[in-house]
Amino acid sequence: MALDLILRNACIGAAEPQIVDIAVAGGRIVDIASGIAAEAPEEDIDGRLVVAGFVETHIHLDKSCILDRCKSQRGTLAEAIAEVAAAKRAFSEEDIYQRARSTLERAILQGTMRMRTHVEVDPRIGLKGFSAIRRLKQEYAWAIDVEICVFPQEGLLNDPGTEELLVAACEQGADLIGGCPYTDSDPHGQIARIFAMARQFDRDIDFHLDFDIDPSRMDLEEVCRCTKAAGWGGRVTVGHVTKLSAIRPERFAAIATRLADTGVAVTVLPATDLFLMGRDHDHDVPRGVAAAHRLLDHGVVCSIASNNVLNPFTPFGDCSLIRMANLYANVAQIGRPSELASCLDMVTALPAKLMNLRNYGIAIGNPADFVVLDCTDRAGAVAEIVRPLFGMKNGRRTFVCPPARLLRGE
Ligand SMILES: [Zn+2]
C-alpha cells in the first residue's frame, strides 16, 4: 500500500513510553513500529510526544466572547446566569455563529480535535444557538469532531416551552441532552424529564450539577439512582460537582465508589469553578474544585475541560486544554510526575472514554489524528504547558504553530 506519510521518532504510550514510527495511508494509521522501511514522505519529530488530539468535553461555544455586553460586579454564579440571560435576548443566529466560530478556531489551533459543546435552548433563544453550532459542526468537520449537547440553562419545569424545543433539537440531530437541575424549580423533576428524553431519543446525558460548595444537599445521588434505573451506566456525565470539594474524605470516598459503580463520569471545570466559587468569603477563599485525580483512584472516568471563554462565568480563556490541565494540577497541589501525567490523560484518553469515542488513540486502524507537542514526556507537557507544534486530522494537516525562537544578533 502506498503510504501518505511516515511520522518518524514519535513518543507514544502512556504506561511505557516508546519511540516509534507511525505510517499513514488513506487518512488512517496503518502501521506503528520502529524503523518502518518504506518510501513515503517523512517527518522526523525527534522523539517528541504525540497525542491523538485533545478532547474537550465541556465548552459553551454559543455564549463565548460576550464580555463587552455584560457588566458583572459580584462574580457569582447567579449573576453570571442573569447577565448571560439578559445578553442572550439580543443574540441572532449569525452573531452566535461568528463568536462560536472564533472560539472553535482557537480550540483547533490549541490541538483540540474532539469536542462536546453545550448549547442553550429555551423559548427566548429558541433553536438559534443549536442551528448556528450545527452549521459549524459541519463546516469544521475537516479539523474537529463536534458533538452538540442541548440543555436548559435557565430551568426546564419552570420554563414552559423548553421541553418541546429540546425535543425538536433532538429530532434535528442534537447528539446529547443536558441538564441543569440547580436552576430548576424542581431539580429532581428535571432530572427525571432529562432521563425520559434521553431514553426516548437514545442519547447520552451531561448534567451541570451540584454547583456550589454547600454539601448539605446534593443531586448526585439522584442522578446515580436514575442512571442505574435507566440502565444508562457509561452514558452519563456530571460537570462541576464543586460540592465534592467541600466534603470530608470518608464521604468523598463513598460517593466516588458510587459514581464508579454506577458508571457516572465527572468533568471538572477549574477556570470557572475557581472564578465563581466562594464569593461570600472575604479571606481564605475556598477553591471549590472537585478532586478529579482522587476520583480517578476510585475508578471514576474524569475529564478536565474549559467550560466558558470570555463571558461572565469565566472572563478568561485561550481554549488551551493543556493549560487547563496545568491549572488543575496547580490548584490540586499535584507535582508528582505520575499524577501530572494523569492530568494529561484527563484532557486526552479519559475524556475520549467519557464521550464513548470508539476510534480515538494512536493505534493501527484509527483515524490519523495527531497533535505533536514540543516536549518528550507526559508530565513535562502539563508542567510546562507545552505548545502543540502541528496537528493532523484524518491524515491532513489542520494547523501549524512553529516554535518561538530568539533572534540573537539576527
Ligand atoms: Zn457548562
Quote the CA–CA distance of 330 and 382 in Å, as a whole number: 10
> Ligand 1 centroid vs 169 CA: distance in angstroms?
18
Quote the CA–CA distance of 291 and 293 in Å, as a whole number: 6
Q: How confident is the model at residue 308 (pLDDT cuts 50, 70, 90)?
A: very high
| Other beta carbons within 10 Å of 5 | 19
> Ligand 1 centroid vs 307 CA: distance in angstroms?
5
Q: What is the pLDDT of residues 43-67, one digit of tens each?
A: 999 999 999 999 999 999 999 999 9
How much is the average pLDDT of 202-221? 97
DSSP-derived secondary structure letter, 3: -
Phi, psi of 43 (to 5 degrees): -140, 120
Q: What is the pLDDT of residues 331-344, one digit of tens each?
A: 999 999 999 999 99
Q: How confident is the model at residue 410 (pLDDT cuts 50, 70, 90)?
A: confident
> Does the structure show a pLDDT above 90 at 391?
yes
> Ligand 1 centroid vs 43 CA: distance in angstroms?
39
CA angle 221, 267, 72 (to 5 degrees): 100
Quote the CA–CA distance of 29 and 156 in Å, as a whole number: 44
> Ligand 1 centroid vs 368 CA: distance in angstroms?
30
Q: Kindly report the average pLDDT of the chain as a whole number.
A: 97
CA 326 to chain centre: 15
SS3 breakdown of the chain: % helix, strand, coil, rounded to 5? 35, 25, 40
How much is the average pLDDT of 149-171? 97
Q: Do residues 326 and 385 make contact, with C-beta atoms less than 8 angstroms apart?
A: yes
> Does the structure show a pLDDT above 80 at 280?
yes
Q: Do residues 316 and 310 make contact, with C-beta atoms less than 8 angstroms apart?
A: yes
Buried b (16+ CB within 10 A) or exposed e, 70-99: bebeeebbebbbebbbebbeebebeebbeb
Q: Which residue has the cell 424545543?
A: 165
Quote the CA–CA distance of 257 and 243 in Å, as a whole number: 16
> Ligand 1 centroid vs 308 CA: distance in angstroms?
7
Beta-bridged to residue 123, according to DSSP, are: none
Angle between helices 162-171 and 187-201 (to 10 degrees): 20
How much is the average pLDDT of 10-22? 91
| pLDDT reported for residue 136 | 98
Handedness of CA 149, 289, 273, 188 (dihedral sign): positive
> Ligand 1 centroid vs 155 CA: distance in angstroms?
14
> Ligand 1 centroid vs 266 CA: distance in angstroms?
12
**What cell numbers appear for 363 in the block?**
493505534
> Ligand 1 centroid vs 341 CA: distance in angstroms?
25
Quote the CA–CA distance of 361 and 410 in Å, as a whole number: 41
Those residues with Cβ within 8 angstroms of residue 378's Cβ, 6 or more apart along the chain or in another chain: 14, 17, 49, 340, 341, 344
Q: How confident is the model at residue 15 (pLDDT cuts 50, 70, 90)?
A: confident
Best CA proximity match to 65, nearest among 286, 312, 271: 312
3-class DSSP assignment, residue 33: strand
> Ligand 1 centroid vs 47 CA: distance in angstroms?
37
How much is the average pLDDT of 144-166? 97
Phi, psi of 308 (to 5 degrees): -115, 155
Q: Do residues 355 and 301 make contact, with C-beta atoms less than 8 angstroms apart?
A: no
Q: Is 262 exposed, middle or buried (0-12, 13-18, 19+ CB in 10 A)?
A: buried
> Ligand 1 centroid vs 33 CA: distance in angstroms?
41
* Residues, Cβ < 5 Å to ion ligand 1: 307
Q: What is the pLDDT of residues 83-112, one digit of tens each?
A: 999 999 999 999 999 999 999 999 999 999
